[in-house]
Structure 1
Amino acid sequence: DVSRWGRFQDLDLSAQFSAQCKKHRKQVIYTSIGKPREDDPLYPVYVQFERFRAAQYSRELSDKVWRGCVKIVEQGYWAGGPPPYATQRLLLDEKREPLQKLNPGQRKGIQNQRVTLVEGDPAQVATVQRIFHEFVEDGHSEYKIAEGLNKDGVVSPGGRRWGAGSVLSRIRNETYLGTLLYNKTSKKLKTPMVHNPVEKWIRTPEAFEGIISDVLFARAQEILEERRRRYDPDRMLIQLQSLYKQFGMARSSLTRVQEEMLPASSYARQFGSWDQAFQQLHKEHLQRAKELVHERLCKQIPDVLAYSDFFVLDRKLSVAIQPAVPIPSGYTAYWPIEPDSRNVIDITLGVLLSDPTELEILGYVVLPRGMAGSEAWRISSNSVRTELFGRTDLAFLKSFL
């Protein structure tokens, strides 16, 4: 039947299997069309049309199944699949009366029967309640909660040790509130799974009796939302700017005296390093400096090709331009330069700016790929590296060409 190979949404995949059979000298005969005739030039058109019909039928059937599952969830029933941790499926008759609890692998046998969720293993229910109480009332982090569960020998949902991600999944799961969720992810017709936005989720609140109270669950979500706002990149930069204005410097150790400010390690995880976080405060300023250097390059070298984030000079030398504003640190200041370790980059050109408020270039630092390494550099005015790799203008680039 054509539909055996015709349910692919990409019709070329259907033809691929037929071509492989012909390549190995095996004739393909479709029962609905018959043997191919050499004198019929429209036979390939018939086959392709049947493949299209089969793909269309699969799409329509998939949409009908999805709509049916959505309707079931909206009515307050479980649409299918394994139940979440600490819950169990309960079989109901057409009058919504309980019949029996379903074990893993068991399914309903009559069409008008429905399935809902109830409390599962008491030990698992106690584990979920313990997670919420420790997170909300005791103020423990997900890491500390996972450590305590592992220490007590509690098995995680996957049968392994608990991790921070597993704990957070329990805290964010609205199922423990008695809410049925559907369409959080999609994987239709063997396509890659995608995570749907929150507005496309299908929610049915109070579909069954939850194992966590509304107040406790809401408090846990408030803590997560406050944490999300606290780790917002824009908010972190505002606090860094405030720190800089207050002390006139940007030492990472100063975060310890600011109660509401995140530690320097959080800035490193978010922006790559503490120094790069400070550079982000002057992102527009750095972009203008990069454009100015580009203009100066074009005056020195006629053939300058611009790629995504670097330039090629005279089709021979690739240069990554990295402007940097000075970071005041007590009585001194330094410019952070991170060598570009990509094989496509020959030279990282550090551009030393005078002040975050003025677009004045003091000089350049030339870092060849083979000599600079991958560690970040802190260039100061009296540094030996400044004497070795520093330049006052761009005329030196001609010697590399």
Structure 2
Amino acid sequence: MLTNENYIGNSVWNKHSARLRSHQVRNPPEQWVRVENVLEPIVDRKLFDRAQIVLKTIYRHMTNDEMLAALRALLARRGALSLAMIDADPGCPPAQRYQWRFGTIVKAYELIGYEPSKNYRFIGVNRHLESMRLQIIRDLVGAIDKQGGVAAHDMAMDLLRINEEITVAITMGRCRVSGFGYPRWFSKADKRPLPDIFVLIRMNPGDLTVRDYLIAPAHEIAGKSELHAINGIPLDSYIFPTLNPILRLAEREPVGGVAW
């Protein structure tokens, strides 16, 4: 929240990118696309700017090794770790900073040799995926707005509404690898009410980076609960490396000087 510009009315996208069959990478700030004043701000801009200054001064000199050493020392003192313990300890950076630096808090735990419970790991991955999904939706809304379309995330129905014409359901597909090494993804394409377009964000093994996107008319894949790396031409024709097909759907064609 402390660095999310959505709270001051801005939409920022292109923070990350991924080419076909490659890992997602974080783009440098100069490549980010920022659209200002497109959302209803809920945090005062001056307060937000002051928070950025504070964040840049707190723990700014801590390297990865120093952050992990602080976490290791806390583990030695307490015998276990949790987000609440980390946030309450004056010798540790906030738990969210570990998530920013290492991708997930579970990854930071692994680097110091701490094994959280399987249930905690499952919850941590789910939180990471939901956070990623919501950020992807926000980025998509900003991109559609930038090209002249209108998009909004209907939180009640959990649907993206584009130009008041198209509804899109966007879900995450955790990667499951079989005993023979073959990846599988499970979808919820039977979501009700059925949207116009169904998007499944297929993750790479480990569920940290995006592999690709299944973007298909919802009625054509309803009932298909499991996907493989190769599914046959009809289904694989809906696999894309980016969400650009959604942007093309949202484009307005100018007619007589007016976009429709």
* TM class, shorter-length: 0.3 to 0.5
User: Which structure has more helix as a fraction of its residues?
Assistant: 1
Q: Which has the larger radius of gyration?
A: 1
